[in-house]
Amino acid sequence: MLGGISTNIGVDTTAREAYQHGYNQIFVEDAMTAVTKEEHDYVCKYIFPRIGSIRTSEEVISALK
């Protein structure tokens, strides 16, 4: 599960590396942010769906119960 500061830089770079190593990834969309909403939304809409699954923190917590 990935989240963090700088959706379009730090999280994106980590996600791409993890994908190259074969990790199954879940992106916790409301547990990350970027400088602008547009930057965050772009990566979540166009990049992350190609390399993992996008979930909210509520969905993740529910799945862990």
Q: How far apart are CA 5 and CA 45, in angstroms?
A: 17
pLDDT tens profile 37-55: 999 999 999 999 999 999 9
**pLDDT for position 58:** 97
Q: Is 1 helix (H, G, I), strand (E, B) or coil?
A: coil
Count of helices and strands (H, E) across the chain: 4, 3
Q: Where are the domains of the chain?
A: 2-64
Q: Is the pTM of this model over 0.85?
A: yes
